[in-house]
Amino acid sequence: MYRILQNFIYLLPLILFLACASEKQDVETRNMDRFIDNLMKEMTLEEKIGQLTLYSSFMDETGPFMNEDYLDYIRVGRVGAVFNAYTTEYTREIQRIAVEETRLGIPLLFGYDVIHGHRTIFPMPIGETATWDLEMIEQSARYAAQEATAEGLNWTFSPMIDVTRDPRWGRIAESSGEDPLLASLVGRAKIRGYQGDDLSQPNTMLATAKHFAAYGFPQAGRDYHTVDISELTLRNVVLPAFKAAAEEGVATYMTSFNDLFGVPASGSNFLLNEVLRNEWGFDGFVVTDYTSINEMVPHGFARDDKHAGELAINAGVDMDMQGSVYHDYLEELVDDGKVNEETIEKAVRRILTLKYKLGLFEDPYRYNDKDREETMIMTLEIMDFARDFARKSVVLLKNEENTLPLSDDVRSLALIGPMADNQRDMIGSWSAAGDYAKSVTLRKGLENRLGTNARINYAQGTTVNGTDRSGFSQAIAAARNSDAVIMALGEEYWQSGEAASRSDISLPGVQEELFDEIIKLGKPVVVIIMSGRPLTIGNVDEKADAILYAWYLGTTTGDALADVMFGDYNPAAKLPVTFPRNVGQIPIFYYAKNTGRPESEIKFTSKYLDVPNTPLYPFGYGLSYTTFGYSDITLSSDQLPMDGELKATLSVTNTGDRFGEEVVQFYTRQLVGSVTRPLKELKNFQKIGLEPGETKEVVFTISAADLAFYNAQNELKAEPGAFHLFIGASSADVKKAAFTLLSK
């Protein structure tokens, strides 16, 4: 008793502090609710509908332009938010119209696709995920928010947390790849980075979890195509990242363009009201992706736009991006008795609440600070970070006989290929207001690194997509006259991203022919590939001496690549997506199931006649300039009680001669389930750094909650039974142990 009392006295200040903080929060919430109640009492139905309307400005175009008169509509209170507008001056003027010329002066939200940086561009999301460095990912979002909010923005349409297994789909570039856990963790990190701890700070912004849901599963990888997946896949693969986003407190969700179970996402009561709001308790607002309300008509789900509007608002869509359907029809729909005014009011309240939390009612111009615009963008600190982040995204796929790193003694380098000296492509697609005039190409980066110590014999050789071979001879001559050859190949920036699906994902144009010509010279060839997706590079893999997969690295591309190529940084990135050998293997992903006829030498088993089942490079794969040795796994027990924990331990040793980082990956497999289970599922990972000869113990803890999955009744449960546990350097290179999950 005395002990309890002593503890209580000891904890008293903390208890009082927490009680005061929660009291303060209650008061703030009451004040906010009162403010919004009073405001809403003043609003006409037309003004309420205005809050549900989002229009694009003329500054940028991210889809079909729908409304020429958006400024006039702002003037009469019929617009709640604007996107594709930035710079303090431009957004200040638009905000001024809303605040000073409308009857109630309600400030606007300013949204934009700040996807992988705003002015300073960081690696493409698929590349940033390859770092497996959640702190850096969060920090990149923090810097993106710092820059974007200094230019008038307070809402980003990011993170995109669509899991996808299809590299034909161009938007794989904007995703975190194929794994549900990785997508959840990256999504959470970005949400924290954008939103910070306090939305009322002028350098934080609303984040958007998109695209809700299953947009990453279009048939045949064709953008906007039909999605037809099971509810098991939906619950176990697609939704975990969206659920994690709700838990992380994301402010908004964006619906997807596709249908799911025959219902377009913007008309899906199941997704929006049942799952998002009722199951997960989300209380922010839902915006459409562009004109996806209108698109319910061609989908064959709504008779006309008016009907589409009725379906969308009743399904739980709060804000209509660009489609003008709410603007044109919601009032009529209320008059016709098809939509309740309370439904509209709920949506308005959600939007006003976030405007309030951003502090816009207190100061509508808080994001229009010229000083910040002049001092907070592309600072030295951000550029240094960008370079470090970029080099950490580069995956070393092959390195025969330690071709890389290049020696400082090199006196002449041939730099060949269409991606070697092209500023625009360096920042990739969806690069927002990215200032590509400031991007460092590979050529420039090598010049910066080498100065006058070595000659760079540059030859473009060919274009990315053309068939002109007239530059081949110059490229061959450059290679002949140099100690080593670097080839920069890939896709142009617009060949991945939205509306950028490809049915053939090999290197475009005659780049591979050029590569074959150079290989014939017998010199060591390092290939650097820049692309937003895995390409089918079997031929390059067979013949090149070394391959670096660079995705699009952003503003500091050339410097970051030079760091990697000369060993100033030892690569440690790992693939967040499986690389197929050919298009026919797609979808190919590591958490596939065993099937009833797993591949063997017997004919009637699950395999191809012309290609192995294995990928070119597996999920989680990536080399280093050093090597790592993995010990066997020791388990704290081979039995895991339902309410207990189990520790799996192994040691990793740097067996090479330079410092290196390693992403140690932890997977499990349930051998028998009430529904069939994948061969492996990523459960955790740790990125560790090791000096030459150093050994570190890596411990993973697992409990029943980590093993839970959605069963056929849509219940999230762990099922007792036999498990395998794997720890290793990639999904295909692991040590194995076994344990049993007990029923109690």
Question: Which residues contact ligand NOJ (rule: CB under 6 A)?
Answer: 62-63, 113, 157, 210, 289-290, 498
Q: CB-based burial of residue 41 (10 Å sphere; 0-12 exposed, 13-18 middle, 19+ buried)?
A: exposed
Minimum CB separation of residue 215 from ligand NOJ in Å reads: 8
CA distances from 305 to 104, 301, 311, 320, 341 (A): 29, 11, 10, 12, 19
Q: Which is nearer to ligand NOJ, 322 or 626 (CB)?
A: 322
Q: Which is nearer to ligand NOJ, 159 or 554 (CB)?
A: 159
Minimum CB separation of residue 264 from ligand NOJ in Å reads: 14
- C-beta of residue 464 within 8 angstroms of C-beta of residue 490: yes
What's the CA gap between 351 and 345, in Å, rounded?
Answer: 10
Minimum CB separation of residue 234 from ligand NOJ in Å reads: 20
Minimum CB separation of residue 170 from ligand NOJ in Å reads: 11
Provide CB contacts within 8 A for 99, sequence distance 6+: 105, 106, 107, 364
Minimum CB separation of residue 602 from ligand NOJ in Å reads: 45
Minimum CB separation of residue 498 from ligand NOJ in Å reads: 5
Produce one character per residue of 307-325: b if its CB has 16 or more CB atoms within 10 Å, e if not: bbbbbbbbbbbbbbbbbbb
Work out the angle between the directed axes of helices 511-519 and 472-480 (0-180°, nearest 10): 30
Provide CB contacts within 8 A for 85, sequence distance 6+: 57, 59, 60, 91, 94, 110, 112, 152
Short-list 111, 140, 113, CA closest to 358:
111
- C-beta of residue 184 within 8 angstroms of C-beta of residue 240: yes
Short-list 624, 705, 714, 628, CA closest to 668:
705
Q: Which is nearer to ligand NOJ, 118 or 392 (CB)?
A: 118
Residue nearest to ligand NOJ (CB): 62
Q: Which is nearer to ligand NOJ, 82 or 564 (CB)?
A: 82
Minimum CB separation of residue 266 from ligand NOJ in Å reads: 12
Q: Which is nearer to ligand NOJ, 63 or 587 (CB)?
A: 63
Three-state DSSP state, 220 = helix
Annotated catalytic, 289? yes
Short-list 167, 161, 159, CA closest to 207:
159
**How many of the other CB atoms lie within 10 Å of CB of 61?**
10
Three-state DSSP state, 697 = strand
Length of the chain: 744
Q: How many CA atoms lie within 13 A of 670 on its CB side?
A: 19
- C-beta of residue 347 within 8 angstroms of C-beta of residue 50: no
What's the CA gap between 625 and 633, in Å, rounded?
Answer: 25
Minimum CB separation of residue 743 from ligand NOJ in Å reads: 45
Three-state DSSP state, 394 = coil
Q: Which is nearer to ligand NOJ, 143 or 257 (CB)?
A: 257
What's the CA gap between 436 and 177, in Å, rounded?
Answer: 25
Q: Which is nearer to ligand NOJ, 173 or 663 (CB)?
A: 173
Residue of 289, 320, 425, 545 marked catalytic: 289
Minimum CB separation of residue 174 from ligand NOJ in Å reads: 8
- C-beta of residue 515 within 8 angstroms of C-beta of residue 487: yes
Q: Which is nearer to ligand NOJ, 113 or 662 (CB)?
A: 113
Q: Which is nearer to ligand NOJ, 188 or 210 (CB)?
A: 210
Short-list 126, 109, 555, CA closest to 319:
109
Minimum CB separation of residue 149 from ligand NOJ in Å reads: 18
Q: Which is nearer to ligand NOJ, 176 or 556 (CB)?
A: 176
What's the CA gap between 169 and 220, in Å, rounded?
Answer: 8
What's the CA gap between 346 and 363, in Å, rounded?
Answer: 24
Question: Would you please indicate which residues are annotated as catalytic (active-site) residues?
Answer: 289
